[in-house]
Amino acid sequence: MKHFTKLVLGAALGAALAGATPAFADLKMGVAAEPYPPFTSKDASGKWVGWEIDFMNALCADIGEKCAVEEVAWDGIIPALQAKKFDAILSSMSITEERQKTIAFSNMYYNSLPVLIGPKGADKDISPAHLKGKNVGVQVSTIHAAYAKKYFEPAGAVIKTYETQDQVNADLAAGRLDYILADGVTLDDFLKSDQGGCCEQKGAVPYDEAIFGVGVGLGIRKEDTALQAKFNKGIADLAANGTFAKITEQWKLTGKLKLPGAK
């Protein structure tokens, strides 16, 4: 009888655990090693800071997980995720149909517009035809590189790719590029720097959702559906309780980001 009772209790406990949301000990978040302010960068002490880092900390607190940053090269970040070197990509990665062929995503946690910048004083015609013969810099393996290849290169622009956004910015400041296409919020941060004083925003390019996607999400392996559900719940919680708005205000990005729940 005691043996039978133990079996019943054991089965009940197993069923309860199977139905519960599993915990993930020490989640590792893959972040591109190069600075990408104001979303991710290191302060003078070497600590990771930024809007996305504050989002990560709030999200992990909400879902009851301990999270840490795992640095990785941007152009190898998806293969590293698939190789299980970390649990999720937290690196301003846009949710696109092309990437969804390989990995899954959480729901969107922000979106922003892609823009072109160039030297001050020049005209602001950013039509593909006007960019004929111009050198346009983009970071490799990004939605911006894909857009430039589709729209600018066929019109005669010379597309130059770089491993990091810092390298793109440096070549524009040095006069080796005519334009940069990248995220408007990140480029605004660059334009406010001493190095970016050379240049100005020329305008936002027409939004092609097939290329730019529906916003930024946490990249995860397709089989990690329980983790995806946890992230989605956490994102919904942060939107409902005002945490997104608070973090965005602290980073002086109010009005510059489209946040979950915003119309």
Nearest alpha carbon to residue 78 among 68, 67, 66, 93: 93
For the question of whether the overall pTM of this predicted structure is more than 0.85, the answer is: yes
pLDDT in tens, 160-187: 999 999 999 999 999 999 999 999 999 9
Mean pLDDT confidence for 132-157: 98
Q: Which amino acid is at 175?
A: G
Q: Listing from the earlier edge strand, what are the strands of the sheet with 199-204?
A: 158-162, 135-139, 179-183, 114-119, 199-204
For 24-111+214-250, the fitting CATH number among 3.10.28.10, 3.40.50.360, 3.30.465.10, 3.40.190.10 is 3.40.190.10
- pLDDT of amino acid 17: 34
> What is the fold, at CATH topology level, of the domain defined by 114-212?
D-Maltodextrin-Binding Protein; domain 2 (3.40.190)
- pLDDT of amino acid 153: 98
Strands (E), 112-263: 114-119, 135-139, 158-162, 179-183, 199-204, 219-220
Q: Which amino acid is at 125?
A: D
pLDDT in tens, 209-238: 999 999 999 999 999 999 999 999 999 999
- pLDDT of amino acid 15: 36
Q: Listing from the earlier edge strand, what are the strands of the sheet with 67-72?
A: 67-72, 27-32, 88-89, 219-220, 104-105
- pLDDT of amino acid 11: 37
Distance of CA 139 to the CA centre of its chain: 13
pLDDT in tens, 1-43: 333 333 333 433 333 333 344 455 589 999 999 999 999 999 9
Mean pLDDT confidence for 194-198: 95
pLDDT in tens, 32-45: 999 999 999 999 99
Both tokens of 2, joined, read 């005691």
Instruction: Tell me, yes or no, if the two domains 24-111+214-250 and 114-212 fold the same way.
Output: yes
- pLDDT band, very low/low/confident/very high, at 122 (cuts 50, 70, 90): confident
- pLDDT of amino acid 123: 86
